[in-house]
Amino acid sequence: MIMSEGATQFWYNLSTGQVEEATHKGQGKDVLGPYPTREAAQQALETARNRTEQWDEEDRRWRDK
C-alpha cells in the first residue's frame, strides 16, 4: 500500500480494539497497519481474515497440483 508523504496513517491496535493515528500508536507487536483511512483500519481484522482465507485456498490449490 503506497501512502502519500505527510498523509495521516491509521493503525488497528489488537490489544485495545481501537484505531490509532501513527503519532499515537501502540507498540509494533500490538498493531496492524498502516491503513490510509480510519475506516480501513476499523476493518483490519476482517481484512486480515479474508487475506488468510485467500492464502489458505492458494496453498490448497498448490498442494493439489
Question: Which pLDDT score is estimated for 52?
Answer: 95
- Residues of the chain under the 50 pLDDT cut: none
CA-CA distance, 60 to 64, in Å (whole number)?
6
Query: What contacts 14, CB < 8 A, 6 or more positions away?
Result: 30, 31, 32
Residue with cell 490509532: 20
The pTM of the full predicted model, rounded to 2 decimals, is 0.74
Question: Which pLDDT score is estimated for 55?
Answer: 95
Give the 3-state secondary structure of residue 48: helix
Q: Report which of 11, 6, 57, 63 is spatially closest to residue 34, judged by C-alpha positions.
A: 11
CA-CA distance, 43 to 29, in Å (whole number)?
18
Question: Which pLDDT score is estimated for 44?
Answer: 96
Question: Which pLDDT score is estimated for 6?
Answer: 66
Map out the domains of the chain as residue ranges.
Answer: 10-63
Question: Which pLDDT score is estimated for 19?
Answer: 97
